[in-house]
A and B are shown apart, each in its own frame.
Chain A
Amino acid sequence: GAGVSQSPSNKVTEKGKDVELRCDPISGHTALYWYRQSLGQGLEFLIYFQGNSAPDKSGLPSDRFSAERTGGSVSTLTIQRTQQEDSAVYLCASSFGTGVFYGYTFGSGTRLTVV
Chain B
Amino acid sequence: KNEVEQSPQNLTAQEGEFITINCSYSVGISALHWLQQHPGGGIVSLFMLSSGKKKHGRLIATINIQEKHSSLHITASHPRDSAVYICAVIFQGAQKLVFGQGTRLTINP
Contacts and interface: CB of A to CB of B under 8 A. Distances in A.
B97 A104 contact: yes
Given A59-B96, A104-B97, A43 B86 contact: yes
A103 B42 contact: no
A45 B42 contact: no
Interface stretch (B43-51, B61-69, B75-83): B43-51
A45 B97 contact: yes
Given A42-B102, A100-B50, A100-B90, A106 B44 contact: yes
Contact of B97 (A35, A50, A56, A108): A35
B5 to A, nearest CB: 11
Interface in A71-108: 91, 93, 98, 100-101, 103-108
Count class of interface residues, chain A = 20 to 34
5 contacts: A35-B99, A43-B86, A100-B30, A103-B48, A106-B42
B43 A45 contact: no
A50 B90 CA distance: 15
Given A50-B95, A93-B43, 16 more contacts: A35-B97, A42-B86, A42-B102, A43-B86, A43-B99, A45-B97, A56-B95, A91-B42, A91-B43, A103-B45, A104-B33, A104-B45, A104-B97, A106-B45, A108-B41, A108-B42
